[in-house]
A and B are shown apart, each in its own frame.
Chain A
Amino acid sequence: MPIIEVNDLRRTFGENVAVDRMTFTVEPGEVFGLLGPNGAGKTTTVRLLNGILPPSEGTARVFGFDPTTQGEDIRRKTGVLTETPALYERLSARENLEFFATLQAIPESDVSRRVDEMLEFFELAPRAKDKVETFSKGMKQRLALARALIHKPPLLFLDEPTSGLDPEAAQQVNDLIANLTSANGQTVVLATHNLFEAQRLCDRVAVMNKGKILALGSLKELARKLWPVTWVDITFHVKPKGKVADALKIHRGVIQASAEDEALAVQVENEDVIPEVVRHLVNNGASILRVNPRDYTLEDIYFALQAGEA
């Protein structure tokens, strides 16, 4: 049963449509990305799913609860890392965590132990008593992540988790997220415009623009939807005899082929055709060094989709 079910969800602010008829599900243990530029509706979606904002139309269920009427039940089981750390800068790291632990109804006798655990895990224990205003951006983000996880929520929303961080701090935060999901099997909804981050962390992504989902699926599924045919790059140790590119073109499943020096680029209808192409080349005396089906990055997919939308 999906943890999140969203059906035809829409949210408007006056004339402005922030979320436009979104439909998707998120399965337990999945890292699901909401990918899009600023103003795509990612943060609004997170707010709608946590019952902070009511939808204008459509329905959503999170753990089976309706965010419109059962927001408190949902927020008890979710942790949210907001785009800005939203920490109490005049208070210490410990005071921040103790406050949110209390709000999350962690028993009073367990608060101190749980706070210690989080401070240790996020390597903030030596600065526990220091005011947050003295922390670096990376430390603040780690503390905000600790706050989101203080009550061990089964569902974690991360809104631009590395926004404004330098590459080192960003990598540190991403490593932490990757560890959390692999070690605890937590379900994560990651709202980001960082394509590298999304490609590294997400099992599936919803590519968004202007409140709409442009495409939804895993990287492979999205690539296949966009480019149903596959390019294969073949590098020879010993080239085959004759005009092999022309010979391949009449082969079933091969769309086109072009030879260049020691290499051959072949466009095939699907990956099943590749072994046949290799067999054909070997039968014609080729000794093959490498066969590389071309991989599409999330960046390729993202820009192709955004360009299509434009």
Chain B
Amino acid sequence: MNWRSIWAIARKDLMEVRQNKAAWIPAIVLPLMFAVIMPILFSAVSQFIPAEEAQKQLGDVEMMLKNLPPAVQAIFDGLKLEQMFVIYMTAFLLAPLFLIMPLMFSSVVGADSFVGERERKTMEALLYSPTTDMELFLGKVLAAVIPAISLSWLTYLVYIVVVNVASYGLFQRIWFPLPTWWPLMFWLTPAFALLGISATVMISARVKTFMEAYQLTGSLVVIVLALVIGQVSGVLFLGVGTVFLIGTLIWVVDIVLIRIAIRNFERSSLITKL
């Protein structure tokens, strides 16, 4: 395995994506929204709304908290209603939404890398290089997965800082991240990044343009929405164990999809699609 070639392909793909606004604008907007705007908004709501109004709004939160498992309810024991609201919104409700990022980043870069290269008619020269099919595949997968995971982790870091700073007046201490977030960041996020790229590779065989691939992989967001709805309705709560379990499931799906993708990623089939 020639890792110099693999990194060269990954680096080249990233240089190209950097020039594609449709690819990198969401990579700035979404983290900004999730990591900065939303936690500030939730903290502000809890701190600046008049007490009577807040009491009315926060009453609903109390109802929601009753649906949580006892272990999680313990986190809220002895807290003021405003604090409960902030913890519930920033540490629980927003948590699954963060999974959109690795999924989206990897599928956007993947779509540009696998389908965009074909669309721009640059694939042929690459296929005439002495790299093996596996090296080509790995280079392109790394180009999608590495920035997806790095950007997600960077967003988590910003989120941790913003949440703690924005809610410091309310808690008078650093309280975030909660234990659930560790497996979310280091187990589920890479799994989702790989899911994004493996799904894109599968889709790329059937579509002709970057936008088509981008839109189709966007449908994967349904998984994240299902987690959000599950969490809100109380059907599925993302505790440490559940996150590990979902992560394991996604990793298994990833492995299956990647194996199929590797099997189908052949020069001979790529060249006939040009």
A-side residues, CB < 8 A to B, are 13, 47, 50-54, 71-73, 75-76, 78, 80, 82, 84, 86-91, 95, 99-100, 102-105, 108, 144, 147
Bound CA–CA A89/B122 (angstroms): 9
B-side residues, CB < 8 A to A, are 2, 4-5, 8-9, 12, 15-16, 19-20, 120-132, 267-268, 271-272
- What residues on A are CB-neighbors of B12 within 8 Å? 88, 91, 95, 99
Cβ A88 vs Cβ B267 within 8 A: no
Return 17 A-B CB contacts under 8 Å, by A number.
Answer: A51-B267, A52-B127, A53-B267, A72-B130, A75-B129, A75-B130, A84-B121, A88-B120, A89-B122, A90-B15, A90-B20, A95-B12, A99-B12, A100-B125, A102-B8, A103-B129, A104-B130
Given A90-B16, A95-B15, also A53-B271 (CB < 8 A) = yes
Select B123's contact among A76, A86, A95, A108, beta carbons within 8 Å: A86
Residue of B nearest to A107 (CB): B4
Given A72-B132, A105-B130, also A91-B124 (CB < 8 A) = no
Chain B nearest CB: distance from A33 CB in Å? Answer: 20
Contacts across chains A and B counted by CB atoms under 8 Å: 77
Given A53-B268, A75-B128, A104-B130, also A88-B16 (CB < 8 A) = yes
Bound CA–CA A90/B13 (angstroms): 11
- What residues on B are CB-neighbors of A91 within 8 Å? 12, 15-16
Cβ B131 vs Cβ A103 within 8 A: yes
- What residues on B are CB-neighbors of A73 within 8 Å? 130
Residue of A nearest to B122 (CB): A86
Bound CA–CA A102/B130 (angstroms): 10
- What residues on A are CB-neighbors of B121 within 8 Å? 84, 86
Chain B nearest CB: distance from A64 CB in Å? Answer: 16
Chain B nearest CB: distance from A170 CB in Å? Answer: 20
- What residues on A are CB-neighbors of B16 within 8 Å? 88, 90-91
Cβ A82 vs Cβ B128 within 8 A: yes
Bound CA–CA A71/B130 (angstroms): 7
Residue of A nearest to B120 (CB): A89
- What residues on A are CB-neighbors of B271 within 8 Å? 47, 52-53
